[in-house]
Structures are given as structure tokens and as C-alpha cells.
Amino acid sequence: MVSDGMGPASLSLTRSFRQFRDNLNYDDILLLDKHQIGVSRTRSNNSLVTDSAAGADVFSCGLKSYNGAIGVDPFKNPCGTVLEAAKLDGYKTGLVVTTRITDATPAAFSAHVDYRFQEDQIAEHQLGYYPLGRVVDLIIGGGRCHFYPRNTHTPFNDGFGDAGCRADNRNLIQEAINDGWSYVGDRAGFDSLQDGNNVTFPLLALLADTDIPYDIDRNSSIHPSLAEQTLTALTALENATKDSDKGFFILIEGSRIDHAGHDNDPAAQVREVLAYDDAFKVAKDFADNSDVETIILSTSDHETGGLATTRQVSPSYPDYLWYPEVLLNASHSGEYTSAHLRESSLKLSNLEDLKNFVVNEILHKDLGIKNPSNEEINYLIKHATTARYFLNNMVSFRSQTGWSTHGHSAVDVNVYGYSNTDSGLIKIYNALAGNHENTEIGQFMANYLELDLSSVTQKIKDTVHSPRIKQDELSLDSDDTLIDNHEHHHVY
């Protein structure tokens, strides 16, 4: 399991938030906290500060590569992954994420391209259109747009979504169906899987055009939670392997903890961490109810945002304070709220109407801010189409939550481990207790499953991994392109 972008301060922030929200004792902790075994160092091959692509290569290939690399070594040679090796050795495999399935972390386990922005090619590899053929049995996440052509608009209820973004004319969803994949494209289709008891493999479940909304914004009638996705995947894979002497390997990612860090959005961040903790509980409960030795590893690829659970808000020596109630007052993320403001500002031509909307709907209702200054209100009116960071800073400032960057940091990240057997726990502790290089996590998984990654590397050496077209001609023309009110980034 990967908690993308979650550093130690994210746990502190979330722990205090939940204690306040639920009126819990100060010694109440998250489930994750009970299973911490160590920390890992996160630098990449070419920088002390890794991105998510290189940060995932260490888990998938067990080696350090350059920022942006997807399943390739520092010399851009494809490297065999734990998931691929597990599949070739007879295991079932799965990917469950809350971002695009073509995003860096899931891609690093299931594709091989020089740069993470090659999401059209990543989608092809994930469906088996590369030398190994299909190696993923179950896919659940977002990212429909890279599976069918740009400007494709179809009714949502046909399951295909409504906004394609591929640079070519391929409809990979239809190709996948023709090749035998079961396809699910909405909540009704997901519910038909019956918590994993009605799954036909291989399964392709793409539940959003881009990323699944932040948990603080998520409409449960439209998008399942990460915990629901996790339960469905684990149950389906268990059912598929009950008569096999091999089990399964699955990557489960709390993807949008990272996005909340990039946005410097503390209200979204704490809900994302809680959603991940819920998914970890589902995985642990699954292991506890299994009579097969099960290993659960959880860690982050890096920390995002340089988060601190305090902030100096005046020139004088600061008070030692942090206010979780401010985060509780917010009912939506800055992503949602800024889109709400942007769309409404284009419809409200009267300045007074726009001001009332900003105060009553955006600040009072969406963010729970009752004391905006005139300067803040005027800024939002003037910059109504580009206000996301400003809105998030209003929440951060009032809660005294600190951030040092909209990017990643080089801080060590926590490692968590669990097994339903004593022998499994001993193996985890012997390998990963204490402070370790992140590559040791990928190496441990390969060793535990007795996989030969080098033989897989030989089999994929002829994979086409270079960009087919220039970056500025890719399926999305800029990092600011909006699909379903989500920015689509290639740098996280």
C-alpha cells in the first residue's frame, strides 16, 4: 500500500483533527500508528527530492531511477517489476488507486516509458499491448480520459464517460472489451461487483475521467471510497485464487494525499489520510480473516508540501497553537471551491451579486470561514478564476497550518508492516525495522515472493518506451487543462 505524499506531519495533523472531531482522548491514534516499524529515505537517482515516478520505481523494480522515469532504469532501459514477475510466476495481480490509473505510482508497476507524461502509452501497456501481454488482472481507479480519443463525448450511462483525451484515435476501452476485459465505468457498475463476489477477470473499472474526487468532496452515490475499492479488489482476488497454490499481489494507493499536499489544502489532506487509514483497516481485517499468510506493507513515496502542524502568523514570537476546528468547519476542498467560484463568477455579471456569492457560498458554506477581511473578499472577486491556492491559504492561515512548498520534500517517510502470522511479522521486522533506503522495500517484496526480476527485465527489453510525440503535442496540452474540474498534472 502506498500513501502518496504522506509524511510524518500528515499523521500528526490527522490524528489531532480526528481527536477533536470525535471528542477522543489525546492518546487516541490511527490504526496505521499501531503498525509503524521504521522509516525510509526517499531520494531518487538524480535528486535529493524525488518525484512520484522515481519514488514508485524503487518499490516496483527495487532500484533508483531519475525523476519522471516509469519502470525504467537510469539509462532508460525497461526494468522488470514485482507485479510483472508475480504474474509470470502464477499470482493474480491488481491495481487500486484514487488518481488516474495511468498516473506515476500504478504506472511504475505496470508500464515502461521514459517519462511519466506518456500516459497514453502507459494505458496501452496496462492493458497488455507490450511484449509481456496482459499482466494486470484487476484495475480499479480513475483515468478514463487516456483510454479513449480526445473530444470523445458519450452519454455517461453507457459507461464510457464523457471526455476523452488521447492524442490518437484509439478507443482502448472498446479494445479491452473486445479482448475479454470486463468493463465498469460508474457507481452502478461498481456496485454490481457485489463487494468483489461478482467479478469476472480481467476487470477494468475506470470510475472517473481523471482523478476520483477528494474524499471531502466525494459523492458516495457516484464514487466509491478507497476502502470500498479495497474490499472489492481483495475479495475478488481471494475468490480467484482460492484453489491455487499461488495467491495475489496488489498495489493499493491513497493517491490524493499527495494532491492535497501540492494544493497546501489541510482540510482535504486530513480526510485523505483518514480514508487511507480506513483502507488499511480493510486490508488488515482481510488478512486477519484469511488462513493464508498475508503480508501488508504500507509506506509513502515521499512527503508533499513541507507540512508543519503549526505556523507563525505574526511578526512577534508565536503562540504554540494549532486549530483543528478550522479544518472541521470546511466542507469542501480548495479544488472544489475554486471550481465552484470559477464557474459561478462567469455567470454573475453584477459585482454585488458576486460579492454576496463569495461571502455566503464560497467562504461561509464551502470553507466555514465567517470572518473574511475586505482584502480577502476583494482578492477573490478580482481573481475568481485562479483562486485555489489563495482559498487554501485562508484555511491554513486560520488553522495555523504551515507549508514550505507546493512540491515535494526530502523528509524520511514512515514504513508500516503487518502480517497475520508470526513468521510473516518476523520477516518484515528483520528486513525493514529501523531506517532503510526505499529500494529495500521493493527488494523485500521480490525476495518474499521469491521472484526473479532480472528474468523479467530480459523479457521486456524490446518494449517501446520512448515518447512517440513531443510533450507539447500530448493528449493534454498544458498542466492547467481541466477535466471534471480537476487539473491534470504530469509533474507530481
Report how far apart, in Å, the C-alpha atoms of 222 and of each of 161, 197, 469 are. Answer: 12, 20, 35
Report the first-to-last Cα separation within the chain, whole angstroms. Answer: 18
Report how far apart, in Å, the C-alpha atoms of 260 and of each of 50, 191, 325 are. Answer: 17, 28, 18
Residue for grid cell 514570537: 317
List % helix, strand, coil for the chain (3-state, nearest 5). Answer: 40, 15, 45
Question: 301 among the known binding-site residues?
Answer: yes
What sign does the dihedral 412-413-414-415 (CA atoms) show? negative
Pair 264, 393: CB distance under 8 Å: yes
Residue 465 in 3-state DSSP?
coil
Residue 118 in 3-state DSSP?
coil
Question: 262 among the known binding-site residues?
Answer: yes
What sign does the dihedral 193-249-105-171 (CA atoms) show? negative
The catalytically annotated residue of 16, 52, 300, 399 is 52
The DSSP code for 330 is -
Q: Which of 92, 1, 35, 4 is nearest to 303 (CA)?
A: 4
Q: Which residues, 6 or more positions from 262, have their beta carbon under 8 angstroms from its beta carbon?
A: 5, 304, 305, 406, 407, 489, 492
Question: 364 among the known binding-site residues?
Answer: no
Q: Residue 131: is the preceding peptide bond cis (ω within 30°)?
A: no
Q: What's the grid cell of residue 157?
A: 450511462
Q: What's the grid cell of residue 5?
A: 505524499
Q: What's the grid cell of residue 366?
A: 464551502
> Packing angle between helix 439-448 and helix 52-60, nearest 10 degrees?
30
Pairing of strands 408-409, 303-304: antiparallel
- DSSP secondary structure string, 166-191? BSSS--HHHHHHHTT-EEE-SHHHHH
Question: 302 among the known binding-site residues?
Answer: yes
Pair 468, 92: CB distance under 8 Å: no
Q: Per DSSP, which regions of 208-283 are E strands?
A: 248-252
AA identity, residue 269:
Q
Question: 232 among the known binding-site residues?
Answer: no
Question: 146 among the known binding-site residues?
Answer: no
Residue for grid cell 489532506: 269
Active site residue 316: no
Neighbours of 62 (CB within 10 A): 23
Question: 253 among the known binding-site residues?
Answer: yes
Question: 408 among the known binding-site residues?
Answer: yes
Question: 103 among the known binding-site residues?
Answer: yes
Binding residues for Mg(2+) are 4, 103, 105, 253
**Which residue numbers belong to the known binding site?**
4, 103, 105, 253, 258, 262, 301-302, 408
Which parts are annotated binding residues for Zn(2+)? 4, 258, 262, 301-302, 408
The catalytic site residues sit at 52
